[in-house]
Amino acid sequence: MGYDEKNEIQENENWIRIGDLKALHGSRILHPTRVERIINEFIQGGPERMQMVSDFDFTITKQRTDDGGKVLSSFGIFNACKSLPDNFKAETDKLYHIYRPIEIDPHMSKDEKVKYMIEWWTKSSEVTSGFPFDQTEIDDIASKFKHALRDRTHELFEDLQRMQIPLLVFSAGLGNSVVSVLKQADIMYPNVKVVSNFLQYRDGLLDGFQQPMIHTFNKNETVLDGHEYYDLVHSRDHIIVMGDSLGDADMASGVPSSSHILKIGFLFDHVEANMEKYMNTFDIVLVDDQTMDVPRALLELIEKQKLKLKNGGSPPAQLSSL
């Protein structure tokens, strides 16, 4: 956003060519010149101007595992808890089979889907009421799903922590499970903030989800407005957004229009049918990529440039993983 308007940056001998970035080979990019320019903006701006906003389910977690094992969503982790009443499980399964196909339907528009998503989350909240529940049940299951994180997720979180870049995990899933998985994986660093749907209790019993309800297609400034995170990162105008759903692309909307946003989309379901929409929505589309290699490659470039400046401008070391 905005790169080709006023803030033109000057190409120089340090200019990184998109074709030289190995991590991007195999990715689908509709506007390579624009992506190249944003990446160079990021490199010149340094870590101080960066922030990352990422979806959780099937973005921080994998869309498929090598051994074909099932990847539970954050709601799936909750639903697998043993103490939940039988009628709760039957109801949530029924809802899933009605609404999940709508969520990923490549032929239905986002606007059409919104009303169904509101119905889904509202009904889910209603059935998640009136029985006792202990968080330790989620923790037990989450500990078994640490392996479902994308390859090199630990390294990505370490990179962000080392470079002091804030990460907002913005999830329409269940926040209790998201936080639990990140804690069990030892990556819930102080620079990580989770905005999601959290369980609410009344008189010791579950009472649905806390407000505001976050569903697949309202993950944007409407739910972040007034949130502590919004102020925290307002000055960070270089933003990497990552998601697996088309609605994830709006997660940074509402930041000043002069910001530079690079949107990375992980595409797995209905690849052919979804490709055009994903390419029009995300700057970089990664097909069946179960790693964090692309965001890490971008951070590596930013960190190398910072080190170079610190060392008085000596030439950068060979770009290792790119």
Ligand X SMILES: Nc1ccn([C@@H]2O[C@H](COP(=O)(O)O)[C@@H](O)[C@H]2O)c(=O)n1
Binding stretches for ligand X (CB under 6 A): 55-58, 73, 75-76, 96, 100, 103, 120-121, 124, 171-173, 216, 245
User: Which is catalytic among the residues 55, 159, 237, 293?
Assistant: 55
Q: 254 and 220 in contact (C-beta within 8 Å)? A: yes
**DSSP single-letter state for residue 264:** E
> Rule CB under 5 A: which of 76-115 touch Mg ion?
none
Q: Given the complex with Mg ion, which of 44 and 291 has the nearer CB atom? A: 291
Q: Which pairing describes strands 167-174 and 284-287: parallel, antiparallel, or unpaired? A: unpaired
Binding residues for Mg ion, rule CB under 5 A, total 5
**Whether residue 111 lies in the annotated active site:** no
Q: Shortest approach of ligand X to residue 242 CB, angstroms?
A: 11
Which listed option, ligand X, Mg ion, none, makes contact with residue 23 (CB within 5 to 8 Å by class)? none
- Which helix H or strand E contains 286, and what residues bound it? strand 284-287
**Least separation, in Å, of the C-beta of 253 and Mg ion?**
17
Among the listed residues 227, 198, 26, the one whose alpha carbon sits nearest the alpha carbon of residue 128: 198
Nearer to ligand X, 88 or 121 (CB): 121
Find the binding residues for Mg ion in span 23-82 (CB under 5 A): 55, 57-58
Q: With H, G, I as helix, E, B as strand and everything else as coil, classify residue 126.
A: helix
- 96/57 Cα distance (integer angstroms): 15
- CA distances from residue 17 to 13, 39, 40, 60, 301 in whole angstroms, order as listed: 11, 9, 9, 27, 12
Can residue 244 be called a binding residue for Mg ion (CB under 5 A)? yes
Residue nearest to Mg ion (CB): 57
Our answer to whether residue 55 is catalytic in this structure is yes
Report the residue number, 47 or 175, with the smaller CB distance to ligand X: 175
| Least Å from the CB of residue 34 to Mg ion | 25
Q: Does 250 bind Mg ion (CB under 5 A)?
A: no
Would you say 71 or 232 has its CB closer to Mg ion? 71
- To the nearest whole angstrom, how small is the minimum distance from the Cβ of residue 72 to ligand X? 9
* 282 interface partner picked from ligand X, Mg ion, none, CB below 5 to 8 A per type: none
> Distance (Å, rounded) from C-alpha 230 to C-alpha 91?
35
Catalytic residue among 4, 20, 57, 248: 57
Cα–Cα distance, 167 to 239 (Å, whole number): 10
Largest Cα–Cα distance in the chain?
66
Which phi and psi angles does 205 have, rounded to 5°?
Answer: -115, 155
DSSP 74: H
Per partner kind, with CB cut-offs from 5 to 8 A, the member of Mg ion, ligand X, none near residue 133 is none
Instruction: Give the whole-angstrom CA distance, residue 7 versus residue 46.
Output: 16
Q: Say which DSSP state 16 is in.
A: P
CB of 179 to ligand X, least distance (A): 12
Which residue's CB is nearer to Mg ion, number 47 or number 247?
247
Residues marked active site are found at 55, 57
Q: Which residues bind Mg ion (CB under 5 A)?
A: 55, 57-58, 244-245
